[in-house]
Each structure stands twice: as C-alpha cells, then as structure tokens.
Homo-oligomer: A and B are copies of this chain.
Amino acid sequence: MIAETLSVGTELLLGQIVDTDAVFLAQMLSRLGITLYFRTTVGDNPGRIQEALRLALSRADLVFTVGGLGPTMDDLTKEMAADVLGVPLVEDVAHAEWLRGLARERGWAEPPASFQKQALVPRSGRGLPNPNGTALGALFEKDGKIVICLPGPPNELVPMAEQSVEPYLREKTSGERQVIRSRTLRIIGAGESLVEDRVRDLMQGSNPTVAPYAKTGEVHLRVTARAASDEEAEALIAPMEGALRERLGDLVYGIDEETLEYAVVHLLILLGRTLAAAESCTGGLLAQRLTSIPDASRVFEEGFVTYSNAAKTKYLGVPAETLARHGAVSPEVARAMAAGAREAAGSDLAASVTGIAGPGGGTQEKPVGTVHIGLAWDGGVISEHHQFLGGRADVRWRSAQAALALVRRFLLNPDDTQFAPGEDG
C-alpha cells in the first residue's frame, strides 16, 4: 500500500509551527510497513486543498489529511475531501447531540452551524472518535481509495491515530506486510567525524543502512532494516548493532529514546550509588534532567542551585577566599562545590557545574562558554575544563551533558587515571 500525507494550514507555510504531526504519521506508517513517497503541505485555501488531494489520490491508495477539522471558517479539509471523492457527509446523530449539550453548557441558545459541522461523517466510511476534542475525524472509503482526515492538534491526532487508525490499517495490510525497523545508538564523548572514521566501512551496506546524525553534545548512529517481519528485521539489525558496539565500546551510552540522564540514573540504580548536584550556570538543568527519569528518587535526593557566591558558601561551604581569589568560574570552585554538595547531601557522588553561559559575563581570560565541571566521590574530587560554543541555551545544555558524561565515565571506570585524586582531593 502506498500512502501520502497532506498537512493543511497556512501557519505551516509561514513557518509559525513545526509539523510534528507529519513526523508522527510517517513513523506510524513506517511501523506498519506502508510506503510513503510524498508528503505535501498546503495552506487553508479550498482550491489548492482540492488540487493537492486530487494529485495525492492519483499517486497513492491511502491519503491522510491533517488539520482543518475544527469549527472555524478556515476548517475546510473534510468538506474538500468529500467533494473530491464525491462522497456526501451525513450527521453522526449521537455526536451532534453531544455537541448541542456542550453548546448549552457554554450558554449558547442555538449552536452555530460551524460548530455542528464537527459531527459530519462520510456516508461511505465512518467517523473517528476524538478523545481530546470536539471534532470527529473522518475515514472515507471509495473505489479502493482511502482518505483519512485527522485533526491538527497533536493531543487530538495522536490518540485518534493510535486508537482508530493504526488498528484499521494493520487489518487492511495484514496480507502484504513489509516492516521497516530502526535502532539508534546514542554516543557521547566523540564527535561525528571520529565516529564516522571508526565505522565508515559498516556504513556502506543497503540493508541495514547505517547513518550518523550530529546532535547537541552527542552523536547518533541509526541502523535501519527492511524485512517481511519484525523478527527478520531484528535479525538484520542485531549483528550490525553488535559490530558497531565493538568498534565504539563505552562511547555508546544508550539506544533509541534512552537519554544520557536515563543512562546515568539507571547506572546509579544498578550500582546502588547516590548522586547530588550543585549548579551555578546550569541553574537546575542538571537536576531537572536527572529527575525527569522515573525512579530518579532512588538515587537522587537533593540538588543545589547556588546562583550567587553567597549561596555557594552558605550551602556548599565554598570558602569566600577561594571565590575571591579564583573567581566563581574556576576549577577550584567547581571542586569545592562538588565536595561541599557531597558532604551536605551525604551522597556517594556529587557533580557540580560553574561557568559562563552568556550572553554577558565573558572576559578575555574567561570567554562565554568557559565551564568547569566538578565530581566528588569518597576517594577524591576532580574538575574538568570545557570551552563550549553556542548561545546561552546551548552552553547550558552542553554543560549538563558534560556533567552527566563525567558521572557516567566514573561509574563505568573508576580506576581510570582521570580519577586519580587531584590536588584538592
């Protein structure tokens, strides 16, 4: 089965929103082994919506429209699909009654026709329930072609697609399944070119394919296989994953949606160690990333956002003299923050971040992007110096990334020479 998606909305063509719906549908179709050759975006214009629908129906068996199902004048998509297919719309009686009830609750004497049109469904086909909104989706079936009209808000589209569309398509394609499966290896501690140099020969194949992606502070390698079943796809991916891991070793910290904070929290849980955080320039980002992981409470009990010098002294015991002599952004302060946080929290480990995130505050000697990461454990305390590029958000993200990477390296390899006690340790 060949599919196309048609995203409708002038705001998309003005670049005012990012089309995450199209990405979600592409992923769903890929899971189902349904091929997508084209994806089109068009504005809220009746003529161009019809033109795009006709073209898509000439090239594909299954066409998705996204957006334009609501109660406003701009919401035209379902009507255009009905026109192009020649399938009349009829009222879903139960939904229309529910809408009238809503209208009464809002104090409207008579619901406007535009409100009630959210209950219209194809005579040849059916409506699709919307758990999070007032507009029904629409599934048209005519002459072997399928058109599925979905709402634009992702919190309406996603459950409608998962609950109504995916099971329908799974049934439809059960005889001709080809699946596409991917696995992403997430890599920390090496840039894209170094990663490519190590695995270049493995990137030549066509099934599975291996492709690198540079992300902020990390690199991803995606392995993608096509096969007749999940099992066959997995049988293609698994040996390639093994070969890549052999080349990259500990640089691979996780797969797919496993973030670096996920890897660190789970490593802490596995090893039964606890961690505290002391943050200056990241201002809570490190703690926030750690606590975004369910079960973080097993290994992370407290964090300090010590933005001022006074707070660094009060909670972490950083000597005022150290702050005065070396400045808040210094290896000495990073180490004192980590050691002080570990002592205050009574944790096994503590990580600290102090730096200049910008846009202001940089000097010739300590430009914006200067960051020191500290790590304290029962055997010592060290610091690492980084010079990051990018704006405030980038520097903060890379700083938190570097702190997580340092904790991970220590947990994996505490005997590494980097973790020989430093001058303050």
| Interface residues, chain A, with chain B CB atoms under 8 Å away | 11-20, 22-30, 36-43, 45, 48, 52, 55, 72, 74, 106, 153, 180, 182, 193, 197, 203, 211, 213-214, 222, 224, 277, 279, 282-288, 290-292, 294-297, 300-308, 310-311, 314-315, 345, 358-360, 392-393, 396
Rounded to whole angstroms, the CA-CA distance of A36 and B292 in the bound complex is 39
B43 touching A26, Cβ below 8 Å: no
- The one of B15, B74, B277, B286 in contact with A26, judged by C-beta atoms closer than 8 angstroms, is B15
- Report the Cα distance A296→B20, complex, angstroms: 32
- With a CB–CB cut-off of 8 A, which chain B residues contact A52? 38
Q: Inside 8 A of A294's CB, which chain B residues have their CB? A: 358-360, 392
CA distance A304 to B306 in the complex (A): 9
Contact partners of A74 in chain B: CB under 8 A: 211
Copy number in the complex reads: 2
A153→B15 contact, CB < 8 A = no
CB nearest to A345 among chain B residues: B311
Q: List 23 A-B contacts (CB under 8 A).
A: A11-B222, A13-B36, A14-B26, A14-B36, A14-B224, A15-B22, A19-B19, A37-B42, A38-B41, A74-B211, A283-B292, A283-B296, A283-B303, A291-B307, A292-B392, A294-B359, A294-B392, A295-B360, A300-B307, A301-B310, A302-B304, A302-B306, A302-B315
**Complex Cα–Cα for A224 and B359 (A):** 30
Q: Are B16 and A222 in contact (CB under 8 A)?
A: yes
Q: B40 contacts A48, CB within 8 Å?
A: no
In the bound complex, CA of A41 to CA of B3 (Å): 13
Top 10 nearest A-B pairs (CB, nearest first) are A283-B291, A15-B26, A284-B287, A303-B305, A284-B284, A15-B27, A284-B288, A39-B41, A301-B308, A302-B311
Across the interface, A307 reaches (CB within 8 A) one of B14, B286, B296, namely B296
If over half of A's interface residues share one DSSP class (helix, strand or loop), that class is named, otherwise mixed; here it is mixed
A288 CB, nearest partner CB in chain B, Å: 4
Most chain B beta-carbon contacts within 10 A, residue among A16, A42, A193, A393? A16
Contacts of A214 in B (CB 8 A): 153
Q: Is the CB of A288 within 8 A of B292?
A: no
Which chain B positions have C-beta within 8 A of A360? 294-295
Partner of A396, one of B279, B292, B345: B292
A12 to B38, CA, bound (A): 10
Q: Which residue of B lies closest to A277 (CB)?
A: B305
Could you tell me the distance between the alpha carbons of A15 and B181 in the complex, rounded to whole angstroms? Answer: 12
- Residues of B with C-beta under 8 A to A302: 304-308, 311, 314-315
Q: Given A283-B300, A294-B358, output 5 extra A-B contacts at Cβ < 8 Å.
A: A15-B22, A38-B42, A39-B42, A291-B307, A311-B345
List the B side residues contacting A16 at CB < 8 Å.
Answer: 182, 222, 224
A55 to B315, CA, bound (A): 65
Q: Is the CB of B300 within 8 A of A290?
A: no
Q: Report if A48-B37 is in contact (Cβ < 8 Å); known contacts: A292-B392, A302-B308.
A: yes
A308 neighbours in B (Cβ, 8 Å): 297, 301-302
Give min CB distance, A58 to chain B, whole Å: 11
Q: A30 touching B14 by the CB < 8 A rule?
A: yes
Q: How near does chain B come to A210, taking the closest CB pair, in angstroms?
A: 11
Judge whether B283 and A285 touch: CB under 8 Å.
no
A213 near B287: Cβ-Cβ < 8 Å: no
Partner of A25, one of B15, B345, B392: B15
Q: Please state if B41 and A13 are interface contacts (CB–CB under 8 Å).
A: no
Q: Are A291 and B303 in contact (CB under 8 A)?
A: no
Most interface-central of A282, A286, A288 (chain B CB within 10 A): A288
